[in-house]
Each structure stands twice: as structure tokens, then as C-alpha cells.
Structure 1
């Protein structure tokens, strides 16, 4: 199983595989997880009450960090989209407006895990110089 170095890069991959392609299942729901643990079923309210506004909810981080993604699924990823409205971000930080760097990607060391990646949309979420890294590997950066 692949091991990601950059949590935010992994989230973008999860967005593609879980919420867009629907190949990575089951589909994660923070509200469902909270309900299952007896912590309520309103993720927005939970984040507000636990001083987690504009932060990744620890239960979501733990789930996504431990989520294993097989090499076959990773090989099928040809495009990634980084957008403040991504569902994975809503599941991680239900009280977040996309106006800060909470989900910015700092490293592209994990590109090797996606051998067929051809295009990345929303490259403004990448740290300085990372667009050049994409382009040097033949990945279109939009």
C-alpha cells in the first residue's frame, strides 16, 4: 500500500477517487462517523462546539491518514482538482471557507504514487515552485 508524505496531497487524491470517481469506498461522512461514535450527527455544530472552526477535525484526520489506497486505484488517477469546494475538505473541516492555506500542498514528493497523472487543476493551492515540478514531469498545470 502507498504511503503518502503530504496529507493535503493525499486528500486531493481521495477527492478524485472517493467523491468524483466513486472507486474508493465506502464514501466517508464525518457526520456519520460522529453519529456512530455517539458524538452527535451535525459536523458543523461539532466543529463549532469543540473549537475546531478553520481546523481539520481530528476524527476526520485520523480516518484519512489511516485510509489505505491500493496501487491499482492510484494508477487510475489521471487528473486531480484542487478547489476550496472539494467535498473532502468539507468532510475534514466543516467550518472552513477556503480563504486560508489549511489545505495547501507543500510537497509533491507523492507524485511518484500516481504514474498516470496527466493534469492538475487549481494549482493556486500549490506552494511556491511546485507548478514547475508538475510541468517538469509532463503534468499539465491549470
Structure 2
């Protein structure tokens, strides 16, 4: 992503915290940096979001997760995220023959097996995979 941004002419300012947003840019290191666009990639407690007046739309409800590791290779690299009705499934390779599956929901009583049922393709892929951990 960084390389593509540079190819498009984006100027990245690493380790240069912004202290304010202006109508035509931001204050960075005590200097005004003029910009048409500002990307606030500064985490869950984003100052950029707060300065932009978007804080009211943030939903701070707690989420719960369970995970299992399977003796099966579903992905070679990266993470795959799938969305169900009220749940998300994250699939991440751990080793050549091991995969981690995480179910995340706002339901504190999330049931891993029921949640897996919302993702038929994932469930089918795991059918022959041996569970190497219990749901945690």
C-alpha cells in the first residue's frame, strides 16, 4: 500500500504526529502542512476522528471472541474476513498445516459451532481438519 501511495504522489509523514486539523491541511510538528486529503490511521482512540467531529458516530460496544486452531491449511498468507448476520469470522494461517479461526460477535455467549454454521464454505473447508485447540 505504501509503494502504491508513493506512486500516486502521496507524501507520507512517518513519526510526525498531527496536533490539529485545519480547513486546508493539518498542523504537523508545529508547521502547517497543506493537504486536500488527510488519512487518520491513528487507531481506535483516533484524534483525527475526534477533531473531525466524527466521534459521536463511534460505537463503543464490547465484542467477544472465540478461537480454534485446526490442523488444516486454508490460506497460505494473509487473513480472510467473512461477515455473517451478527458475527465475523477471521481465518489466519499459523503454519504450513495449521489455521486459526476466530469468531467475533457482540453476543457474550457466542457458540463457536453455531457461528461456524453461518459460514458454509468455511465450515466445509474445516470438515476434515482436526481441531488442535479447544474454543478459547
Regarding TM over 0.5, the answer is no
Greater per-residue strand proportion:
2
Larger RCO, structure (CA 8 Å, separation 6 or more): 1
TM range (shorter): under 0.3
Give TM-score, length-normalised by structure 1.
Answer: 0.26
